[in-house]
Every structure is written in structure tokens, then in C-alpha cells.
């Protein structure tokens, strides 16, 4: 489509209510005109995780105000946007219903096309908005609900190369934190504690390391942490720091092996791509130690390591608006207003469902 596109995006799949207006120029360049995110962290922290019913209600209360604010900050009225893009899966069904129904109602009222967006596609395409990446590239999504290595071949064209067969990486951080008595969300707390710990004190398992398949497994790691904590109880502050550092070290080694193989596979698949890219997305991408591991791995393998700014790695609506813009620009069809939200919705329709994968199906 040979005209600039302005898309309103809506995201409500988990515990962030978000709205954004994004511009996609004819040359493929993107600009975020507004990006409003309301985190529900406080509502859920007392429960040590996201409570679906609380999340859905909070989305209902906040969404219309956030959309009005996103339009106002972009200095636009609804009639001026070219389309509406709303996350319609995967995620918590209550929240998805709120966002998608709002998107449908607005599309109908303003007579605009509606794009029902896969949340994972939003993460997958963000690097084209922030870094202008060209296809193909690899994306590692590491969040509270997903751990996936995805080949991004084009808009709407994805191949899942690896996924977790049990816990997501963020979930492993959260569970480790919980059993050590650290606050929720666990990732930042574990990273902080690890800074003053000894990564060599405990040897934790590195599941699937050495295997040719590109999948991940983290539940054994969490169990090993529990066993060590019980064996040396009562755990003091230094013990906690040592466990966290050893845990992070095991994760780092695992990623190095798994992703290293993914980079090799990319090289074999695309020998003509001179300087390929590995993109990270998801909340775990905030972890400095893991970032450093991935950065040096990419460096050694001749890949660019691309890390969008953190607020665009975690859940937001700019990535949803952008995915809508990319779809529209690629001439992909808009969705019918009868489209339904989907709690489970794999990005790669051909990927088999692995044992335990998407168990929680909640967070992406």
C-alpha cells in the first residue's frame, strides 16, 4: 500500500492495558506517535502472579481512557486513523475479549478496517519499527509466558525453531524468586541478588544442552534450586545471592548452547545473508547478564545483536499497531468483525504442540 499508514493499536492480553498510535511511512519506516501503557503490577503483586479476573476488570476500567489519551497525544481523532489493530491472542481470555471487542466496536463505529493481531507477531516485528531490520532474522522471545526462538521470514511468515517444553524462562525466574522469599516479579530480584553471589558455588542442571533440537526446558532448574535451598536451610542472604548467581549462570550456559545452535542453523539456511540479526524481546531481555551472554555469542558468530528499548521489549500497544501497519502495507486482508479472541494461538501454524507448552497460556 503506497501511502503513509496511521494505526491505532490496543493491547490487553495480560497485565498491561495499552494503546498507541503508530505511523508507517511508504518507505517502511515507523514512528511512534503515542504509546500509553498502564501496568497492573500493583493489583497482582500481593498474589505473586497475574490473577485473570482482576486483570480483565482492570482492562475494562482503564481501556477507553487510555485509547482517548493515545489519540490525544498523537493529536489525532479516530476518523483520521487508517485502521485499528487489537491483540486477539494468545493470552488471558478475559483481557483479550475486552481489547478485541473494543477494537471491533470502534472499527464498526468509525468504519475502519480491523486487524486482529497475534501478540507474538507484535514482538516479532518490533525490531523493524525500532531498527528498520530487513527479513529474514531470528527472534528470541523470553517473557513470563513464552520462551521461543522464531525465524521471522516476512510479515505473517514465521517458523518456530524452538520453544520451552515446560516453564517459560521468566516463569523460572519468578518461581526461583518465590521459593527464596524474594519479591514478585522475580526476574529483577534474582538479577539484583545474583550480583553479589558466587556463580560457581552450586552446579545447576542445563537441560537439553548438547541436543540438536532447539527447544528449552527450565522446570528441572527450578526443582534443583528448591532442593539446594532445602538442603542448606536456613538460607542466609549470601546463600540466596549464591543460589541466584548459580541459577543465572546455568540459564546463561543453556541459552548460549541453544541459541548458538540456532545461529548456526540460520547460517546454513541463509548462507547469502552477510550480517544476520538476532533480536530479543520479552521482559527477561532486561537481564544484563543474559544480554551480555547473547551479545558476545552474536559477536563470535558474526550476528548483530538487536535489543529494542526495554519498554518496547515488554508488552505495549505500539508493537500491535505496528503489526497492523505491516499487515496493511503488505496487502494482507483485514479481519472480519466476527473474528474471535484465542487464548492459544501459535505464531507458526505448522509448529507441533509440545508437551507442557503454553500450559499457562496466559502471559506472552
Q: Which residue is nearest to ligand KG4 (CB)?
A: 187
- Which has the closest alpha carbon to 50: 19, 94, 9? 94
Binding mask 291-330 for ligand KG4 (x = CB under 6 A): -----------------------xx---------------
Task: Rule CB under 6 A: choose which of 30, 283, 308, 346 binds ligand KG4.
Answer: 283
- Which letter, b or e, does each residue of 50-87 get, where b requires 16 or more Cβ atoms within 10 Å of its Cβ? bbbebbbbbbbebbeebbeebbeebebeeeebbbbbbb
Is residue 284 involved in binding ligand KG4 (CB under 6 A)? yes
- Could you say whether residue 245 binds ligand KG4 (CB under 6 A)? no
DSSP string, 203-214: ----TTTT-SS-
Q: Which of 174, 315, 326, 335 binds Zn ion (CB under 5 A)?
A: 315
Instruction: Give one word for 151, left, alpha or beta, with left for phi > 0 and alpha for psi -120 to 50.
Output: beta
Residues linked to residue 255 through DSSP beta bridges, in sequence order: none
Q: Which residue is nearest to Zn ion (CB)?
A: 364
CB of 212 to ligand KG4, least distance (A): 27
Three-state SS at 159: strand
Residue 100: its H or E element: helix 93-110
Residues 126-145 that bind Zn ion (CB under 5 A): 143
According to DSSP, the β-strands at 137-142 and 147-154 are: antiparallel
Show the cell assigned to 60.
475494562
Site for ligand KG4 in 171-190 (CB under 6 A): 173-174, 185-188
Confirm or reject binding of residue 95 to ligand KG4 (CB under 6 A). no
Interface mask toward ligand KG4 for 136-155; x: CB under 6 A = -------xxx----------
Set of cell numbers at residue 361: 497460556
Question: Which among Zn ion, ligand KG4, none contacts residue 346 (Cβ within 5 to 8 A by kind)?
Answer: none
The answer to whether 346 contacts ligand KG4 (rule: CB under 6 A) is no
Q: How far is CA 145 from CA 63, 161, 168, 331, 345, in A?
A: 23, 17, 5, 31, 13
Residue from 103, 199, 282, 341 that binds ligand KG4 (CB under 6 A)? 282
Name the segment binding ligand KG4 (CB under 6 A); options: 20-28, 29-37, 283-291, 335-343.
283-291
Interface residue list for ligand KG4 (CB under 6 A): 14, 143-145, 170, 173-174, 185-188, 191, 282-284, 286-287, 314-315, 363-364
Amino acid at each position: 500500500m503506497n501511502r503513509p499508514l496511521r494505526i491505532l493499536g490496543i493491547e490487553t492480553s495480560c497485565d498491561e492495558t495499552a494503546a498507541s498510535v503508530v505511523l508507517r511511512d511508504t518507505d517502511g519506516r515507523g514512528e511512534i506517535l503515542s504509546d500509553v501503557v498502564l501496568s497492573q503490577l500493583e493489583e497482582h503483586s500481593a498474589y505473586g502472579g497475574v490473577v485473570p479476573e482482576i486483570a480483565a476488570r482492570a482492562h475494562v476500567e482503564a481501556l477507553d481512557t487510555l485509547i482517548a489519551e493515545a489519540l490525544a497525544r498523537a493529536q489525532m481523532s479516530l476518523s483520521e486513523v487508517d485502521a485499528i489493530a487489537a491483540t486477539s491472542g494468545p493470552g488471558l481470555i478475559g483481557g483479550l475479549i475486552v481489547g478485541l471487542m473494543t477494537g471491533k466496536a470502534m472499527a464498526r463505529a468509525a468504519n475502519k478496517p480491523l486487524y486482529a493481531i497475534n501478540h507474538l507477531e507484535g514482538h516479532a516485528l518490533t525490531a523493524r519499527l525500532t531498527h528498520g531490520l530487513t527479513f529474514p532474522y531470528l527472534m528470541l522471545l523470553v517473557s513470563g509466558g513464552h520462551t521461543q526462538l522464531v525465524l521471522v521470514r516476512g510479515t505473517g511468515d514465521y517458523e518456530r525453531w524452538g520453544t520451552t517444553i515446560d516453564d517459560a524462562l521468566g516463569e523460572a525466574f519468578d518461581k526461583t524468586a518465590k521459593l527464596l522469599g524474594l519479591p514478585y516479579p522475580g526476574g529483577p530480584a534474582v538479577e539484583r541478588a545474583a550480583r553479589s553471589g558466587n556463580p560457581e558455588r552450586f552446579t545447576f542442571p542445563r537441560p537439553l544442552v548438547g541436543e540438536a533440537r532447539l527447544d528449552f526446558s527450565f522446570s528441572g532448574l527450578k526443582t534443583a534450586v528448591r532442593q539446594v535451598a532445602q538442603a542448606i536451610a536456613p538460607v542466609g542472604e549470601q546463600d540466596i545471592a549464591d543460589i541466584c548467581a548459580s541459577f543465572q549462570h546455568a540459564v546463561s550456559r543453556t541459552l548460549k548452547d541453544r541459541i548458538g545452535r540456532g545461529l548456526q542453523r540460520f547460517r546454513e539456511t541463509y548462507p547469502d545473508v552477510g550480517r544476520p540479526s538476532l533480536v530479543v524481546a520479552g521482559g527477561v531481555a532486561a537481564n544484563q547478564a543474559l544480554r551480555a551472554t547473547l551479545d558476545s555469542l552474536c559477536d563470535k558468530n558474526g550476528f548483530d545483536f538487536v535489543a529494542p528499548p526495554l519498554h518496547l521489549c515488554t508488552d505495549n500497544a505500539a508493537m500491535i499497531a505496528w503489526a497492523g501497519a505491516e499487515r496493511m502495507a503488505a496487502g494482507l486482508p483485514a479481519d472480519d468483525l466476527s473474528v474471535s479472541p484465542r487464548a492459544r494461538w501459535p505464531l507458526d501454524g505448522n509448529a507441533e504442540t509440545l508437551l507442557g507448552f503454553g500450559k499457562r497460556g496466559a502471559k506472552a
